[in-house]
Amino acid sequence: MDAWRHGRVSLIISPDILDEYHRTGDKLAKKYPGVDLEPWIELLMLKASFVDAPSLSERVCTDPDDDKFLACAVAANTKFICSGDKHLLDVSGYHNIIILKPRIFVDRYLNS
């Protein structure tokens, strides 16, 4: 969050990703009454960069729901996806997009 605030990284999302965040936030709020992702989602809606990300022409991830993150990265012409999702990590290198776990991304690119 600090790197984003200071312009060291950009957060790029698509409408499909935003929809998933809303669904996930709703599920978590029902399961854990103290969890409220809405302030975080609202911050994303205000400050993140949005791209129109057409669906990929082929299925890439074992979990097809994760293809939306690759589609967004392709549409935004970005170099990295920061995620701990195993299905995304397994396809690192797709369209030259490197997928790194958050800790590794921070250690390699933000702590130097």
For the chain, 112 residues long, give each residue's pLDDT as a single digit of tens: 788 888 888 899 999 999 999 999 999 999 999 888 889 899 889 889 999 999 999 999 999 999 999 999 999 999 999 999 999 999 999 999 999 999 999 999 888 6
- Tokens 């369209």 sit on residue: 95
pLDDT at site 6: 84
**49-50 and 12-13: which strand pairing?**
parallel
Q: How far apart are the first and last CA of the chain?
A: 17
Domain count for the chain, please give it: 1
pTM of the predicted protein model: 0.88
Domain encompassing residue 90: 2-110
Q: Please say whether the beta carbons of 98 and 91 come within 8 A.
A: no
CA–CA dist 51, 69 (Å, integer): 11
pLDDT at site 1: 78
pLDDT at site 64: 92
Kindly tell me the burial class for residue 2, based on how many C-beta atoms sit within 10 Å of its own C-beta (0-12, 13-18, 19 or more). Answer: exposed
Q: Determine if residue 86 is left, alpha or beta; phi over 0 gives left, psi from -120 to 50 gives alpha, anything else beta.
A: alpha
Question: How does DSSP classify residue 54?
Answer: P
